[in-house]
């Protein structure tokens, strides 16, 4: 989740049935407004109490506009989970790419993730609820994130940044750490500077993963 977060944009899975991509720029803006409104509606009210009318009211669009792109509340929720994953990934990716080595990449990804969470606290409620509403999207969110971390670690091993025995286990451990750091220092409280948190974690990883 720390980089993580729509299916077609992410390239992680097939398109969601009942989720239609717009063909025009105006349509893309409308669909974006609906997804942003859905994040606010689901984040505030939860899946079961949220409503399509609540989403369209927040988005400032007609009910018919919703059904142009999404068949149901379930469909927009599934699309939203994957869209949030894509947003996280797009937010942290530039910092990760600009990092000079593997440790710096993980540090940069965490720092950017913490800042994203502070602006989008609803992501935790939505992702957590997806385990029960759409378990496939829930699993995909974490599996794809861990896979990307594992790829970065493997690249770090090849460059000589990390020990040769760094594996998928380490990728899941880093992701789990980031998830709970985001919860503590992004959702529950903002009482510590993201840079200081990322520095502490980078030192932790450096001592644990360095050759």
pLDDT digits (tens, 9 = 90+) for 123-172: 999 999 999 999 999 999 999 999 999 999 999 999 998 989 999 999 99
In the prediction, which pLDDT does 17 show?
A: 83
* pLDDT bracket for residue 185 (50, 70, 90): very high
Sketch the domain layout of the chain as residue ranges.
7-209
pLDDT bucket at 2, cuts 50 / 70 / 90: very low
Report residue 18 CA to chain centroid gap. Answer: 22
Q: How far apart are CA 56 and CA 68, in angstroms?
A: 12
- In sequence order, what are the residues at sequence separation of 6 or more whose Cβ sits closer than 8 angstroms to the Cβ of residue 69? 19, 20, 21, 22, 27, 30, 31, 34
Q: Is 142 helix (H, G, I), strand (E, B) or coil?
A: helix
- pLDDT class of 6 with cuts at 50, 70, 90: very low
- Would you say residue 60 has pLDDT above 90? yes
pLDDT bin (cut points 50, 70, 90) of residue 8 is: very low
Q: Domain 7-209 in CATH: superfamily?
A: Tetracycline Repressor, domain 2 (1.10.357.10)
Residue with tokens 């992702």: 127
CA distances from 96 to 105, 114, 176 (A): 5, 14, 18
- What pTM was estimated for this model as a whole? 0.87
């Amino acid at each position: 989740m720390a980089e993580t977060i729509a299916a077609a944009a992410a390239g992680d899975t097939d398109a969601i049935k009942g989720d239609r991509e717009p063909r025009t720029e105006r349509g893309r803006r409308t669909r974006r407004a609906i997804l942003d409104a859905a994040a606010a509606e689901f984040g505030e009210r939860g899946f079961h109490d949220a409503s399509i009318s609540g989403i369209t009211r927040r988005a400032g669009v007609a009910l018919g506009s919703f059904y142009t792109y999404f068949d149901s509340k379930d469909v927009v929720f599934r699309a939203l989970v994957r869209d949030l994953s894509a947003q996280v990934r797009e937010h942290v990716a530039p910092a990760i790419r600009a990092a000079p080595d593997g440790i710096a990449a993980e540090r940069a990804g965490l720092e950017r993730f913490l800042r994203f969470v502070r602006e989008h606290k609803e992501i935790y409620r939505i992702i957590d609820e997806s385990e029960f509403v759409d378990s496939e999207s829930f699993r995909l969110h974490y599996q794809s994130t861990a896979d990307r971390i594992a790829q970065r670690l493997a690249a770090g091993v090849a460059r000589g940044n990390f020990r040769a025995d760094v594996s998928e286990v380490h990728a899941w451990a880093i992701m789990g750490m980031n998830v709970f750091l985001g919860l503590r220092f992004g959702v529950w409280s903002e009482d510590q500077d993201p840079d200081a948190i990322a520095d502490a974690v980078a030192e932790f990883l450096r001592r644990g993963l360095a050759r």
